[in-house]
Chain A
Amino acid sequence: MPQVAKIATPGYNALTDTDPDHFALYVDQKVDYVLIKEKASDTVNVPNGVTNIAHRLDYVPLCFVWAEQSSGVWRKLYGYPLDGNLYFEINDTNLMLNNFSGSDVLFSYHIFYDNIT
C-alpha cells in the first residue's frame, strides 16, 4: 500500500479531494509533486553591463528574476528581450544579470535548488 501524506488548503477535504492543486503538500507515491526549494534570494544594484551571481551549485538551477523598471514598479524578466535592455541568463556557475539600460537598475532574484537540466 502506498504511503500517503497530504495537507489540504483551506476549504478542501484531504480525505476525499484528489486535485493536487488543492493541497499545500500532496504525496501519493505515484507522482512526484515537487515543491520548489529556495536556495538564495537578494535584491542587488546592477550597474550597466553584466553582474554575475555565483550560485555555488554544480548544475543549472531554476531561478526567477525581476527588475525595478521605474520607481516602485517591478517587472518580471526573462531571456533576451523582444525589446528593452534587461534580462538574465544562468549556467552551472552563475546567474548573469544583464543590464544594458545605460544606468544602474535594482534586480531581485530567487535561485532554487531545483535542477533544470
Chain B
Amino acid sequence: MIFKVAKIGKSADSSDPNDFIFHSDYNTFKIILEGTKTVTLLASTADQTFTEAHGIDSYIPIISAFAKRDGVNQVFAPNGVDVENYSSRGGFDGEIKFNYIATNATNMIFNFDNAKVTAVDVDIRYFLLERAA
C-alpha cells in the first residue's frame, strides 16, 4: 500500500516526486537530534575548536549546523563569515568565520576564527541527521 500526499494543486496520481509533500515510496531524511550550544570565541584568535558529545554510540552521525553571533540578527553557515556591516570598501565585514563542522564517533566539532579584538559569544544550532557517514 502506498501512502502519498500531493502538494496543493497537484494530482496524487502524478509520477513526479516533486509534486508530493510525502510519498511512502521515498525515504524522507530525518533529523535525529537537534540542539543549541553557545561558545565564546577568544579575541583575535583563529582556528578555535569546540566539541559537544552527541551521545550516539552505534554509528557516526552526520551533521548540519548554523551559527548566530550575539547582537547580530543574521545567521551564517559553516564555510562562511558573519555579516556585521556593509563596508565603505564595497563588501561585507565578516570578522567571525565559521570554518567547518564535523563529527566523529564521540563528538560534534565546531571550528571558528575570530578576527575581532574582543571575545564574542556565538550561538550554534545543530542538527544530527539520520544516516551514518
Residues of A participating in the B interface, judged by any CB pair closer than 8 Å: 5, 25, 27, 29-30, 32-39, 41, 43, 64, 66, 68-69, 72-79, 81-84, 108, 110, 112-115
Contact = CB atoms under 8 A, between A and B. Distances in A.
Given A27-B21, A72-B104, A82-B97, A37 B80 contact: no
Contacts of A39: 17, 26
B18 interface: yes
Contact of A32 (B21, B100, B131): B21
A78 B26 CA distance: 25
Contact of B23 (A37, A64, A74, A77): A37
Given A74-B104, A76-B100, A76-B101, A32 B7 contact: yes
B22 interface: yes
18 contacts: A25-B5, A25-B22, A29-B8, A34-B7, A38-B28, A38-B29, A72-B105, A74-B133, A75-B100, A78-B79, A82-B79, A82-B81, A84-B100, A108-B62, A108-B133, A112-B29, A113-B18, A114-B18
Nearest to B109: A73
A32 B8 contact: yes
Given A74-B102, A74-B103, A37 B28 contact: yes
A72 B60 contact: yes
A37 B20 contact: yes
A41 B123 CA distance: 31
B18 A115 contact: yes
Given A27-B21, A110-B131, A113-B26, 10 more contacts: A25-B5, A33-B21, A37-B20, A37-B23, A38-B28, A69-B100, A69-B102, A72-B60, A76-B101, A113-B18
The 9 closest A-B pairs by CB, nearest first: A37-B26, A113-B17, A75-B102, A74-B133, A35-B28, A78-B79, A38-B27, A108-B133, A32-B7
